[in-house]
Amino acid sequence: MTISIDIVSDFVCPWCFIGKHRLAEAVALVQARQTGARFQFNWLPYFLNPHTPERGEPYRAFLETKFGGASEAAKIQIEVAEAGRAAGVEFGFERIALRPNTLRAHRLIYRAQSIGHRPQEIAALVERLFVGHFQRGENIGEIATLADIAAECGDRRGDVADYLAGGEGAQQVKSLADKVRGLGVNGVPFFIVQRRLAVSGAQTGEILAAAIMQAAGELCG
């Protein structure tokens, strides 16, 4: 049995990073209960702030404006860090100077999926992008940084740099993001199992596993 899961996320969303790890937990739970279950993942783009400048914007100022001040932003980060730690994610918020525009990062994933990279390669690339932003403070809106990350994950650096320097894939990514919003998705992470069952938010591994099992049961039925 192959179970398809569409994952809607943005690389500047800490809950999406947590959600990715909780999904991995859910997959392990399902495979323990359903011997032979296989998974097909499809990463879909979402822009938390579609108006982020192409060059990015100062991270701390953005957070303080969004949450109403420095102390409020700090409280939110503490809560997220605690949730992340429980999911196996250590955040390095203090290393982040810039909140990037994520169009190029989404284009990188779109390219990897379109040209048929292996699922494990795509998963590693997605993880590395989250790590780059949230743990290393790298500018994942910058072509050189993204090309380096792709090369770490086995791609050809020059090919990726040339692709990102042009406009290829940009309109397709924007169209996918618009389509996702048109379906009523207004927050991430968002999971669509078997194109029939939706789960919103970074739910626990147990809740995600239950949703996957439900969708798989409906498929078998």
From 219, 214, 221, 220, select the one nearest 191 (Cα to Cα).
Answer: 214
End-to-end CA distance of the chain: 13
Average pLDDT (63-75) is 97
Query: What is the CATH number for 105?
Result: 3.40.30.10
> Residue 69 has which token pair?
């001040």
> DSSP readout, 154-193?
TS-HHHHHHHHHS-TTHHHHHHHHHHHHHTT--SSSEEEE
Number of domains in the chain: 1
pLDDT tens column, 11-57:
999 999 999 999 999 999 999 998 889 999 999 999 999 999 999 99
The model's confidence at residue 169, banded by pLDDT at 50, 70 and 90, is: very high
pLDDT tens column, 111-153:
999 999 999 999 999 999 999 999 999 999 999 999 999 999 9
Range of the domain at 192: 2-220
- Whole-number pLDDT of residue 220: 54
- Whole-number pLDDT of residue 1: 82
